[in-house]
Amino acid sequence: MPDSLVPIAPSYNGHLHTGPTAPTAILMLNLGGPQTADDVGPYLERMFLDRELIPLPFQERLGRFIARRRTPKIQKKYAQIGGGSPIYYWTQRQGQQMVKWLDQISPETAPHRFYIAFRYADPLTADALHQMKADGVRRAVAFTQYPQWSCSTTGASLNELWREILRLGLRDAFAWSLIDRWPTHPAFIEAMAGKICEGLAQFPPAERDSVLLLFSAHSLPLSVVERGDAYPQEVAATVQAVMQRLDFSHEFLLAYQSEIKPFKWLGPSTEQVIRKLGAQRRRNVLIVPIAFTSDHIETLHEIDIEFAELAREVGIANFKRAPALNDDPRFARALAQIVAEHLRGNRLYSTQYKLRCPGCQNPMCRTLLSPAKDIGCAEGSPAAEGQLSAA
């Protein structure tokens, strides 16, 4: 948890670039979150106006209407978790640690600078691009902070990146490559396994062996699953890799949370699973957020407040949550390692990136403007998909 959630002005990187070499930019893509109560409205509006996330009929009018209607309710939730989302705070700390490690393990591409591009909150993509330009960046890596691909998350962030580059006339400014997924990268899995061990330590020793690990990922509308989105497969792969790392020490389940009506969503629903575990008189449950790398409203409110209360109601004696990766140094090292392998691999993106969903209707998808061809990149990279040995 951050000591303070006071909004911090985007300062990007701790150390100054003084050498003769242009910095290598690592653009960290994520959802973002409102830092104050006043930010909630614009945040929800951007979200409900994004038809790559939530396609609505009469998007402009209905999106604004839904956002306005939900704002007070969501403001109240943020008030209960300290006033705002900590995602900017955590991403900054992750970025700072990551570039420090990167300068050590990849001196040939140093100095490294990180930039943050949130999809629905400050700093937005345009802020990051302006700062990159001001810093004299040429070579840039767009690094999704969602371990598993979904068109709703990484896809929407990348599409926004290409749109903003064109809008700002920055097509020739940077040479890009992408880390578009890393669901089973061994260093990420190692960090996740560590968080689960920390979670297990919260249980009374005598109960620890009987803990059920309830992996929970943000759900996806079934329409997106049916379009062929890779997310369910990749989330499941992460779960399996973590359990293998733990030697299948505990029983586990995978469920999905945060469905929004009236769509049909991928199940089983975490909320329903908690109810049913209560009915089965399960005493010990450790919930493990598996598709997001920082604390956010779905961990701090939905899990820690709403699900914890539900668990009490249905009689689960010990309901705990594995800590989010946040500023865990193992995770920052994992991020650095993923980037270092990517830079060494000289590939533009993963093998999967160019594969549009079979049901895709969005001509924007799977674009790559200004590929980093000049530095000898080739297409298709297995690097970030986890099969490379640890550096």
CB-wise, 14 or 267, nearer to a second copy? 267
* 340 vs 332: CA distance, rounded Å: 12
Of 104 and 387, which has the nearer Cβ to a second copy? 387
Smallest gap from residue 282 Cβ to a second copy (A) = 9
Q: CB-side exposure of 48: number of CA atoms within 13 Å?
A: 22
Main-chain dihedrals φ then ψ at residue 374, nearest 5 degrees: -65, -20
* Cα distance between residue 381 and residue 103, in whole Å: 22
289 Cβ neighbours under 8 A, 6+ residues apart: 216, 217, 298, 299, 303, 321, 322, 324
Output the smallest distance, CB 94 to a second copy, in A: 25
CB 360 to a second copy: min, Å: 8
Length of the chain: 391
- In the complex with a second copy, the residue whose CB is nearer, 168 or 236, is 236
**In this complex, which beta carbon is closest to a second copy, that of residue 11 or of residue 389?**
389
Q: Which residues contact 28 (CB under 8 A, 6 or more apart)?
A: 91, 94, 95, 114, 115, 116, 117, 143, 145
Q: How far is the CB of 354 from a second copy (least distance, A)?
A: 7
In this complex, which beta carbon is closest to a second copy, that of residue 114 or of residue 349? 349
Phi, psi of 208 (to 5 degrees): -60, -40
Q: Which is nearer to a second copy, 164 or 385 (CB)?
A: 385
Nearest approach in angstroms of CB 245 to a second copy is 8
Shortest distance, position 254 Cβ to a second copy, whole Å: 5
Note if the bond before 111 is cis, omega within 30 degrees.
Answer: yes
CB of 220 to a second copy, least distance (A): 11
Say if residues 318 and 204 touch (Cβ distance below 8 Å): yes
DSSP E strand stretches across 119-210 = 139-144, 175-179
Nearer to a second copy, 104 or 244 (CB): 244
Give the interface with a second copy as residue ranges (CB under 8 A): 183-184, 212, 222, 225-228, 232-237, 239-241, 243-244, 247-255, 266-269, 272-273, 276-277, 280, 350-352, 354-356, 358-359, 382, 385-387
